Amino acid sequence: MPTTVIHPALLALGVLLQSAGMLAVAPLLKVAIKKMKASLQNRQGPPWLQGYYDLAKLLRKEPLRSETASWVYVAGPRVYFAAAIAAATLVPVLTAAAPLESAGGILLLVGTLALGRFALATAALDTGSPFGGMGASRDMTIAALAEPALMLGLFTSALAAGSLNLGVLVRGLVAQGPSFHPSDLLAFAGLLIIVIAETGRIPVDNPATHLELTMIHEAMVLEYAGPDLALVEWASAVKELLYLTLLVDLFMPVGIATSLAPGALLVALAAWALKVFALAVVVTLVETTNAKLRLFRVPELVSVSLGLAFLALAVRFF
């Protein structure tokens, strides 16, 4: 069994550090993508710290809530936020071990994110506004389609590495040394599509729109304001960072620290930042060069991902 006995205090410290770190970095990623997008459109983007300014402003604002809403509306963003942080501790970031890896692996990660989504979608129905329902319906629809493709993509990597536990998986990959199998490319492409869908980016959803007919995630959280909205925005940013980190872990774990030596950690930090940034460039390029798909064309995109994942499995194991 891979579970080694870790001192509870050390475990708590690891969880604390990683979740705080992810919370601290996540707004930067959002801004980085915005800036790159802007420069591709010959615009000047927001300042690097804009994400933090926005969160600080929202957190200071007076909380507004609908008269028709119940406690579910209040609980929604909080559970969403908690799920995002909990999920962030299930993924190895700098070290080839996730702080909470003894709680579970890939399946728990997907389940935790699904819990957050469930909470937010349910809360969206609470104000009685038609937009909330519209967003919740679309978000759950896309999630339902994306989940099998996500699972299949993750299974391919897990079966190749011999474990569904992310810590064990990454350690296995590191021990293997740099290797390349054609199935990696297929699985990576399949998962990238799902990551784009799950993080609400073009061509699936447009994070910058508030046009009623096209918005998905934004429609779901349209009624939220002030501190409640800050939680949602922050958690979404953490989720995005988390998905990119997951791709990095599965396909290019080069540089990840295998010990807690300061030098190794510094190298790991630089490598991680570089790799996530590279992925962010890819996401930005996809977002800039594509138009948003109609909702009913999304299943086609997802089935491409499903097909790629199956091909990856076939290439690897038949």
Partner 1 sequence: MNPAVGLPIVMALRLATLAATLLAARRARAARLIAFPGSAAASVVTMLTAVSVLRSGSPADGVWFVHRASQLSLSYSVDGLAAWFLLVLSVVAVPIAIFSIGYCSSPHFSRRSAFIGALYNVLLGAVELVFVAGDAIAFLFAWELMTLATAALVATEHEERESRSAAYLYLVMSHIGTGCLIAGFLALASASGSLSFSAALSGAVAPGPTRHVLFALFFLGFGVKAGVIPLHIWLPEAHPAAPSSISALMSGVLLKTGVYGLMRVCAFGLGAPSLSWGVFVVALGGLSAVLGVLYALMQHDLKRLLAYHSIENIGIILLGLGAAMMGLAYGRGDVAAIGLAASLYHVLNHAVFKGLLFLGAGGVVMATGTRQIEQFGGLLRRMPWTGLFFLIGALAISGLPPLNGFASEWLTFQAFLFGFRGSTDSLVHFLFPLSGALLALTTALAAACFVKAFGISFLALPRSRAAGEARESPAVMLVPQAFLAALCIALGLFPGVVLQTLGGVTTSLTGGELQQDPLWGGLGLGMTSGLESFDHLVPAMLGAAMAAGLAVAVALTLRRAGAAVRRVPTWGCGGELTAGHEYTATAFSKPLMMIFQAVYRPTRQVEALAEASPYFPREVRYHAEIEPTFQRYVYGPLVDRVIKVAAGMKVLQAGSLHAYLAYVLVLVVGLVLLVWWRG
- Residues in region 200-229 near partner 1 by CB under 8 A: 223, 227-228
Contact between 121 and partner 1 by CB under 8 A: the answer reads yes
Contact between 52 and partner 1 by CB under 8 A: the answer reads no
Contact between 115 and partner 1 by CB under 8 A: the answer reads yes
Contact between 293 and partner 1 by CB under 8 A: the answer reads no
DSSP symbol at 91: S
Contact between 128 and partner 1 by CB under 8 A: the answer reads yes
CB atoms within 10 A of CB 283: 22
Find the helix packing angle between 182-198 and 298-317, rounded to 10°. 150
Which residues, 6 or more positions from 275, have their beta carbon under 8 angstroms from its beta carbon?
248, 252, 255
What is the Cα–Cα distance from 280 to 145, expressed in whole angstroms?
Answer: 24
Of 148 and 255, the one with the shorter C-beta distance to partner 1 is 148
In Å, what is the CA distance from 71 to each residue of 5, 66, 113, 289?
39, 11, 21, 42
Contact between 111 and partner 1 by CB under 8 A: the answer reads yes
Residue 194 CB, nearest approach to partner 1 (Å): 11
CB atoms within 10 A of CB 129: 17
- Judged by CB under 8 A, the number of residues near partner 1 is 91
Contact between 82 and partner 1 by CB under 8 A: the answer reads yes
User: Residue 151 has which token pair?
Assistant: 């699972």
Contact between 108 and partner 1 by CB under 8 A: the answer reads yes
Residue 90 CB, nearest approach to partner 1 (Å): 8
Q: Give the residue, chosen from 28, 38, 46, 155, that forms a contact with partner 1 under the rule CB under 8 A.
A: 155
User: Residue 98 has which token pair?
Assistant: 């996730």
Alpha helices in 162-225 (DSSP H): 166-176, 182-198, 217-220
Binding segment for partner 1 (CB under 8 A), chosen from 33-41, 105-113, 174-182, 190-198, is 105-113
Residue 219 CB, nearest approach to partner 1 (Å): 10
In this structure, which amino acid lies at residue 25? V
Contact between 191 and partner 1 by CB under 8 A: the answer reads no
Task: Report the DSSP beta bridge partners of residue 257.
Answer: 95
Q: Give the residue, chosen from 93, 237, 308, 313, that forms a contact with partner 1 under the rule CB under 8 A.
A: 313
CB atoms within 10 A of CB 136: 23
Contact between 89 and partner 1 by CB under 8 A: the answer reads yes
In this structure, which amino acid lies at residue 71? W
DSSP symbol at 63: P
Contact between 277 and partner 1 by CB under 8 A: the answer reads no
Residue 148 CB, nearest approach to partner 1 (Å): 4
Q: Give the residue, chosen from 13, 24, 39, 68, that forms a contact with partner 1 under the rule CB under 8 A.
A: 68
